[in-house]
Amino acid sequence: MRIVHLGLGNFFRAHQAWYTSAAPDAAQWPIAAFTGRSPGAAVALNAQHGRYTLLVRGPEHDEAQMIGAVDAAYPSNDHQAWREHLAAPRTAVVTLTVTEAGYLRDADGGLDESRAAADVAAWLRGDAVQTVPGRLMAGLAERRISGGGPIAIVPCDNLPENGAAVARVLFDFTALAEPALVPWIRDSVSFVTTMVDRITPRTTAEDVRVARELTGFDDAVPVVTEPFSEWVLSGVFPAGRPSWEAAGARFVADIVPHEQRKLLLLNGGHSLLAYAGSTRGHATVADAVTDPECRTWLAQWWDEASGYVPLPPGELAEYREALLTRFGNGRIRHTLAQIAADGSQKLPVRVLPVLRGEVAAGRLPAGAIRIVAGWIDHLRGAGAPVSDAGAAPFQARAASVRDVLALLAPDLAGNDALVAAVDHATLKPTT
Ligand code: CS2
C-alpha cells in the first residue's frame, strides 16, 4: 500500500509523516511526497534517503527523533511521477498540506475560476497542470484509465470541513476541464475531513546545528516542532489506511466541534497576535504572550469565539489554558511574520464566523474587531510584512475600512457601527 502526499513542507514532516512513522504498520505504508512550491525540499530529502530529524522542542529541552516514513520525494514539476503514483492501485490515500491559498477557493468556497483559468486552458491544450485542483484532477484521470480503483483524499489544511472544501474545488475544476470524469470521481473518491494541529516553525541554521549535535547525523533539513500534536479525522478510506489511531490520531463521527475549537481558538488567536501583537513590536508568539496587553486581547477573543465552539465550558477552559502554555513555549521561535502570511485566505475561516455571528446578535465584538483592524493596519504597512498573493486588491483599498470590508465580507460593509468600530480600533498616526 502507499500514501501519496502533496505539499512536502515542515508541517507535513512534523505531523502526517510522524503519525505514519509511529503507526505499527508503518512499513506497509511508504509515502511518496511531492513538493508544493519549493522543489529544493525534494532534492535535500532524497539525498538523505528520505530520513530526517524531528526535533521535538519542549520548554526545557529538545528530543531528536529520526523519521523514515518518506521513501521517495519528488519536485512539484515531476508530473509523470505524480500521474503514475496516483494511477497505481497500491496507492490508497492522498494527503494534502497545500495551505489555505492552495485550494483556489473564492469567497463562497467554490473554485476561483479566474485563478484556475490558466490551468484549465493548459489541460485542454494537453499541457501539464500546476494548481492543486488541477493536479488532483490530472492524477485521478490517470487512475480512472488505469482502473486503479477507489481512493481517499485527505486534506490537512486549516479549513472548516476541509474534505467538502477540496471536493468542491475539484468538482468545479473537473466540470470545466474534463466533465466526463465527474461521475467517476463521485463514485470512486472519498473525501475525508480532518483537524490537524502541531505548531511547526521554520527551521533555522541554529536548528541544523542542534540536530547534528544531538544525533551525529548531518541533516540538511531537520524539522522543529512542539511536543503537542493532534489529528482528528472523519470519513471513509475505501482502500485502507495506516493504523494512525495507534499513534494517537482519533477517528470521529462529528468533527465540527474539534475543528471549530482549533480554528477559532488556536488559529484565530495566532492571527490576533500576528497582526495586533506585531504592531506592538513583538516578533514571535512566545514574545507576544509575555505582554499582558496581548494576553488580555487573547482572553477577550477567546471569550467571544467560545460561543461558536459546541463543547462543554470545562473542556474549553482546559484548552485555553493549554494554548497559553503552548504559545508561551519560549524555545519555539514561531514568528508572527510566518503566521501573518496569507491573511486574505485565513481571516474568512478563523475570524469572520465569530464576527458575523456577533453582529447578527446585535453585538460589536471587540476581540474580532481588533483582529480585522490589526489586519488592516498590517495591509497599511504596520507590524509584520505582507506576504499574501491575494492581498493586492485589499491593499489598494486599505485606506478605507469600509472598502476593505466590502471585499472581505460584503454582508458586513453596510453596517455603519461596525465600520466605525473597526476604524476606531486601527492604529492612529501619532502627531
Ligand atoms: C498558524 C498555523 O501560520 C498559521 O496561520 O496559525 O500554521 C498553526 O501554527 C498550526 O495550524 C498549528 O497547528
Q: Is 378 in the pocket of ligand 1 (CB under 6 A)?
A: no
Nearest CA to ligand 1 atom 11: 197
Q: Kindly state the average pLDDT of the residues 40-59.
A: 95
The residue with cell 509523470 is 80
Residue 38: band (very low, low, confident or very high) from pLDDT cuts 50, 70, 90: confident
CA distance 339 to 103: 18
SS3 content of the chain, % helix, strand, coil (to 5): 55, 15, 35
By C-alpha distance, which of 217, 202, 198, 206 is closest to 53? 217
Show me where the domains of the chain are located: 2-251, 256-425
- Which of the four CATH numbers 3.40.190.10, 3.30.540.10, 3.40.50.720, 3.60.70.12 does domain 2-251 have? 3.40.50.720
Beta-bridged to residue 94, according to DSSP, are 4, 153
Q: How far is the CA of 266 from the centre of ligand 1 (A)?
A: 8
Residue 119: band (very low, low, confident or very high) from pLDDT cuts 50, 70, 90: very high
How many other C-beta atoms are found inside a 10 Å radius of the C-beta of residue 258?
A: 22
* Per-residue buried b or exposed e for 411-424, using 16+ beta carbons within 10 Å of the residue's own CB: ebbebeebbebbbe
Helix H, strand E, coil C: the string for 235-302 is: CCCCCCCCCHHHHCCEECCCCHHHHHHHHHHHHHHHHHHHHHHHHHCCCEHHHHHCCHHHHHHHHHHH
Mean pLDDT score across all residues of the chain = 97
Q: Is 198 in the pocket of ligand 1 (CB under 6 A)?
A: yes
The residue type at 295: R
Which mutation among 19, 266, 275 tests ligand 1's pocket best, with the greatest number of atoms within 8 A of CB? Answer: 266
CA distance 117 to 177: 10
Nearest CA to ligand 1 atom 3: 339
Contact 94, 82 (CB under 8 A): no
- Which of the four CATH numbers 1.10.10.60, 1.10.1040.10, 3.40.50.150, 3.40.50.720 does domain 256-425 have? 1.10.1040.10
Q: How far is the CA of 45 from the centre of ligand 1 (A)?
A: 23
Grid cell digits, residue 67: 523519521
Helix H or strand E segment including 74 = strand 70-74
By C-alpha distance, which of 376, 354, 391, 388 is closest to 422? 376
pTM above 0.95, yes or no: yes
Q: Is 146 in the pocket of ligand 1 (CB under 6 A)?
A: no
What lies within 8 Å, CB to CB, of 15 at 6+ separation is: 97, 156, 196, 198, 200, 225, 229, 231
By C-alpha distance, which of 80, 87, 129, 127 is closest to 104? 129
* DSSP letter assigned to residue 381: T
Residue 309 pLDDT:
98
Q: Is 395 in the pocket of ligand 1 (CB under 6 A)?
A: no
User: How is 284-328 classified by DSSP, letter by letter?
Assistant: BHHHHHTSHHHHHHHHHHHHHHHTTS-S-HHHHHHHHHHHHHHHT
The residue type at 363: R
Residue 395 pLDDT:
98
Q: Give me the long-range contacts of 395-400 (CB less than 8 A, separation at least 24).
A: none
pLDDT at 431 over 70: no
Contact 87, 151 (CB under 8 A): no
pLDDT digits (tens, 9 = 90+) for 370-426: 999 999 999 999 999 999 999 999 999 999 999 999 999 999 999 999 999 999 999
Q: Kindly state the average pLDDT of the residues 305-330.
A: 98
Q: Is 130 in the pocket of ligand 1 (CB under 6 A)?
A: no
Q: Is 267 in the pocket of ligand 1 (CB under 6 A)?
A: yes
Task: Give the three-state DSSP class for 353.
Answer: helix
Contact 347, 368 (CB under 8 A): no
CA distance 286 to 328: 5
pLDDT at 179 over 70: yes
Residue 102 pLDDT:
97
Contact 131, 104 (CB under 8 A): yes
The residue type at 429: P
* Percent of the chain surpassing pLDDT 90: 97
Query: ipTM value of the model?
Result: 0.99
Which mutation among 199, 258, 301 tests ligand 1's pocket best, with the greatest number of atoms within 8 A of CB? Answer: 199
Nearest CA to ligand 1 atom 8: 199
Q: Kindly state the average pLDDT of the residues 233-249.
A: 98
What lies within 8 Å, CB to CB, of 223 at 6+ separation is: 10, 13, 14, 52, 53, 54, 55, 200, 203
Grid cell digits, residue 179: 466533465
